[in-house]
Structure 1
Amino acid sequence: MKSLGVIVEYNPFHNGHLFHLTQSKEAARADVVIAVMSGQFLQRGEPALVSKWTRTKMALASGVDVVVELPYAFATQKAEVFASGSISILSALKCDTVCFGSEQGKIEDFYRTLHIMEEHKDSYDRNVQRYMKEGYSFPKASSLAFIQLTEDKEHILDLTKPNNILGYHYIKAIMEQNSSLKGLTIERTAAGYHDPTFNETSIASATSIRKHIFGNNGDFEKVQRFVPPKTYELLSLYYKQTGSFHRWEDYFTLLKYRILCSTSSELAEIYEVEEGLENRLQQTIKESHSFHEFMTRLKTKRYTWTRLQRVCTHILTNTKKEVMLAVSAKKQSEYIRLLGMSQKGRAYLSKVKKDLDIPLVAKVSGINSTMLEMDVRATQTYAMKFDEPSRSHWMQQEFSRPPIRYHEEEETFD
């Protein structure tokens, strides 16, 4: 069975994702699709719109055969670490190919750019440090340094584009890990990654879909045109069962409590809290009445919105620097957490299971892993928006829920 890997968040799964999945499967001539999917908190430091279990169902109903979780230690990190963890899991699962969406659309440009960056690494690093000393954020400093390095070269990636950046780091991780994975890319179509509004096509960005959902008080009928029928059905069911979707405002009271009840030195121990940011966090949150107001006041030229959201996520989950650095420094996952599978996916796992270098985890009970403990804590934090007894039920699911099984013929889950 020829296997294709995709690295996703599916927040939520929409028609653009379906297009990418279909095109990727065709380009790779794959028999089975494996998705490495972020858990309850995402790369931009946001809580997922709906739980990882519901997003797993969306993926399986749309053609994915195996869904595994990208651990919190990688899922809530900058692109380089996010990519390393993802590639390590696909490699461990014996994937043949990884395919990602990009603005560039040509895989040769990714390899060419990687070669140039390695050839001029010292010059690039010096320029990054120079721009950061001028007050730019790390992503902006990296972009400026890259432009200076490559301005006279042809067929080079535009590393100001979010999907190009991720794709570059996927290819870099493949090379660094000496993985046998083959890289492929599909050009993104219609909607841009962060487009905030709908367009005339049936493809819209996840950002615009979430914006519409949160801006219309639960009336999300208009998103139906931009998502597969099963996604819409699962979104509707989730809203009916929980009464809302997840967003940062749901966690603002908890965040405020955590910041104000911590000392400056305790906050300084949290991952990504640097350069006296702990003092700014405490002062700013006293004056803020909502998460959006807090972030608007907190943001500076040096600290991007995304970086600050990740800081807030780590504060909520009490993720300490020493723990995160020790776990993520390995650049490889310690396990493969199985969330769901189709019948074809189950057959694939049975075939490769005996050759896996790291354990395949169906339930977290009884497993001793610092990395896995972080995933559990993320789910416990994610559940805090609910009232009891729902909150405790959600927390218990992390230990008791088996992987979802999808039956294609009946289009049912168990």
Structure 2
Amino acid sequence: MDQKIRIGIVAEYNPFHNGHIYQINEVKKRWPNSSIVVVMPGKFVQRGELSIASFEERKKIALENGVDEVYELPFLFATQAAHIFAQGAVLELNKHNINILVFGSETNNIDDFFLVAKTIKNNENSYYELIKKEMKKGTSFPKANQIVLEKIIDKSFTMPNDILGLEYVKTIINFNLNIEAYSIKRNIGFHSDKVFKNIASATHIRKLIFDQDNSYQKYTPMRFDKLPDRIENYYSIFQEIVINSPKEKLKSIKLMSEGMENLFKKNINAKTYDEFVRLTNSKRYTSSRIKRVMLYVLLGIKDIDNN
């Protein structure tokens, strides 16, 4: 008897929704004799926020809707920038012997992902030198990456799922993994408040849930009888830590670099979590980077080099 094809998916399921069911069904149509293996963050997601439901709740509903196996992505990969998140996730899936990686994509051109990944590998030294030059100008890594790719290959990816997709493919290429990759076209933008039939973005669904608008139930099989906990609820604790911590102590926090501790001290009187993120967000520091560092401050996670 032929061994089942093992299809890998990287997901947050924050929350698990109808778009994910669509993806699972598309996988089953394309590969009828397959097992779907998912790697997913635990309590905290990539942008440094609390997941809307526990790992076990999200795992349970995924298994009820066609997924065969779910594994947890370790925290220090789950709460990192796209290149580290993606590398950790693909290597974790590789441990579970997947044959094929499937991911959602805004552009949905898998050949471009492989072309760009191979070009970066073949021009590694010049690529990273150009990235460093751009970042010295105060450009964030995602923007620097976009600028450099347009220079060396006249292609770049700017949408969130495409950026992650490129990093998945780069991991396959760089580690010479025996994994094929395929993309599935996304019907709804990453942060879109538009809906497509009964499909909405996770961002839109979370907003409905936190607004206590039960219309969220049209878009997800998950149910929330009470308001989920949010990272915003811990902002006053974050303020207290920053106010009471010497700059040298803040500097030892993971991802706290290049004077970010001064920026945190300067803006710590912001009234809300969102206001603090807005005030510290800049050309150099994306809001996602700020949120990750805020999480590491709250949890006291230090850079290994400073321990």
> What TM-score, normalized by structure 2, do the two folds share?
0.93
- How many angstroms does 1:30 deviate by? 4.2
Residue 267 in 1 paired to residue 250 in 2? yes
For residue 198 of structure 1, report the CA deviation from its aligned partner: 3.4
Report the AA paired with residue 266 of structure 2: Q
Please state if 1:258 is matched with 2:241: yes
The answer to whether 1:279 aligns with 2:262 is yes
SS in 1 for 2:40: strand
- Aligned equivalents of 2:183 and 2:33: distance in 1? 14
Work out the percentage of aligned pairs sharing the same amino acid: 35
Q: Does structure 1 residue 210 correspond to structure 2 residue 206?
A: yes
**Retained in 2: the 8 A contact 1:2–1:29?**
no
* Partner residue of 1:173 out of 171, 174, 197: 171
CA deviation vs aligned residue, 1:152-186 (integer Å, no higher than 9, x gap): xxxx5x41121111111111112222322221211
2:47 alignment partner in structure 1: 44
- Displacement of 1:134 after TM fit? 2.2
Contact 1:202 1:225 in 2 (8 A): yes
1:187 and 2:185 correspond: yes
Q: CA deviation at 1:200?
A: 5.0
SS at match of 1:35: strand
Alignment partners' CA distance in 2, 1:38 and 1:245: 17
- Could you give the per-residue CA deviations for residues 9-56 of structure 1, whole angstroms, max 9, x where no partner exists? 000011111111111233234432111011111111111112112111
Equivalent position amino acid for 2:235 in 1: F
Distance 1:227 1:29, change over 3 A: same
Match of 1:144 among 135, 147, 169: 147
Which of these two proteins has the greater Rg computed from alpha carbons? Answer: 1
What is the distance in 2 between the residues matched to 1:2 and 1:93? Answer: 12
Q: Which residue of 1 aligns with 2:289?
A: 307
1:225 aligns with 2:200: no
Equivalences for residues 111-122 of structure 1 within 5 A: 111-122=114-125
- Which residue in the other structure is 1:357 paired with? none
Verify the 8 A CA contact 2:241 2:297 in the aligned structure 1: yes
Correspondence for 1:198 = 194
Kept after mapping to 1: 8 A contact 2:157/2:163: yes
Q: How many residue pairs are counted as aligned between the two chains?
A: 304
Q: Select 1:288's aligned residue among 245, 253, 270.
A: 270
The two structures have a TM-score, normalised by structure 1, of 0.70
Distance 1:38 1:298 in 2: 26
State the match for 1:96 in structure 2.
Answer: 99
- How big is the shift at 1:267? 0.8
Aligned 8 A contact 1:15 1:203 in 2 = yes
Return the letter of the residue paired with 2:199.
I
Partners of 1:317 and 1:297 in 2: CA distance? 22
Q: Is the 8 A contact 1:4 1:25 kept in 2?
A: no
1:249 aligns with 2:252: no
In the alignment, structure 1 segments of 5+ residues that lack a partner are 327-414
Which residue in 2 is equivalent to 1:358?
none
Are the counterparts in 2 of residues 6 and 34 from structure 1 also a CA contact under 8 Å?
Answer: yes
Q: Which has the higher contact order (CA 8 A, sep 6+)?
A: 1
Contact between 1:28 and 1:97, CA under 8 Å: does it hold in 2? no
* 128-137 or 141-150, which deviates more: 128-137
Q: Conserved in 1, the CA contact under 8 Å of 2:250 and 2:256? A: yes
Cα distance, 1:130 vs structure 2: 2.5
Q: 2:196 & 2:144 partners in 1: Cα distance?
A: 36
Matched-pair contact (CA < 8 Å) for 1:295–1:308: yes
Which deviations, in whole Å up to 9, do the C-alpha atoms of 1:125-154 show, x marking residues without a partner? 233223222222111111111112222xxx
Q: Which amino acid aligns with 1:133?
A: K
Contiguous gaps of at least 5 residues in structure 2: none
- What pairs with 1:390-409 in structure 2 (closer than 5 Å)? none
Q: Please, which moves more after superposition, 124-133 or 199-208?
A: 124-133
